[in-house]
Amino acid sequence: MNKMNKSAKIDYNELLKIGQEKEQEAQKLIKNIDKVEIIDVNNDFKFDFKTSNNKTYEVKYDRKAPQTGNIFIEFKTTKENNDELYSFGSGIRTTTANYYIIVIILNELHIFFIIDTNELKLLIKNNNFDKRYCPNIEKGSYSYGYIIPISVIQTISKIYMKNNDSYYLTSELKI
């Protein structure tokens, strides 16, 4: 393994750890606001966790959103294998979750956008959002996604902020 692959592996592991931390924070938020228990944690494309009231959630962390003012909603992944490209649906196209939780960090404040997945899909269907791709950590792999302004995401979200270990609902968010 060359040096580039080693550093990519470290970056991947760091990003994976951050993603898992955000999933745990989202679980804590849902337990707190809905007074439920987490009954299933899933590690596939369907959902990330399920609660005792039978709701499922997909959690996405967008580390670039505060700088870009946009949320990246993944819909496809492309991979290279033996000089051949193949692609498959992912993210919003394959989830079975009832709700999407998008997490961003703004000035050390954790912000959670809770969105009904069907509303998010309808928003995407009824608009012509830019589509972009970005390379994944894995060489030859790309994620494709819709670029949706945070201001638009806010219109279909319940927005919670985390202050220390407390969560509060907010209607105003200026990014």
The number of beta carbons lying within 10 Å of the beta carbon of residue 11 is 11
- What are the residue boundaries of the structural domains of the chain, listed by start? 3-170
Which of 97, 10, 24 has its CA nearest to residue 61? 24
Surface-to-core class of residue 70, CB atoms within 10 Å of its CB (0-12 exposed, 13-18 middle, 19+ buried): buried
Q: What is the pLDDT of residue 12?
A: 65
Q: Of 107 and 145, which is predicted with more confidence? A: 145
| Dihedral angle computed from the Cα positions of residues 8, 13, 14 and 15, in that order, rounded to the nearest 10 degrees | 90
Of 99, 98, 92, 101, residue with least CA distance to 22: 101
Q: What's the rounded Cα separation, in Å, for the pair 87 and 85?
A: 7
- 26-71 pLDDT, tens per residue? 999 999 999 999 999 987 889 999 999 999 999 999 999 999 999 9
Each residue's pLDDT tens digit, 59-117: 999 999 999 999 999 999 888 877 777 788 889 999 999 999 999 998 888 999 999 99
b/e per residue 94-131 (b: at least 16 CB within 10 A): bbebbbbbbbbbeeeebbbbbbebeebbebbeeeebee
Question: What's the one-letter identity of residue 1?
Answer: M
Residue-level pLDDT at 137: 67
6 — pLDDT class (breaks 50, 70, 90): very low
**Confidence check: pLDDT of 10 > 50:** no
Q: How far is CA 149 from each of CA 83, 101, 111, 170, rounded to the nearest angstrom?
A: 35, 16, 15, 18
Strand partners for 58: 100
Mean pLDDT score, 131-152: 87
pLDDT at 22 over 70: yes
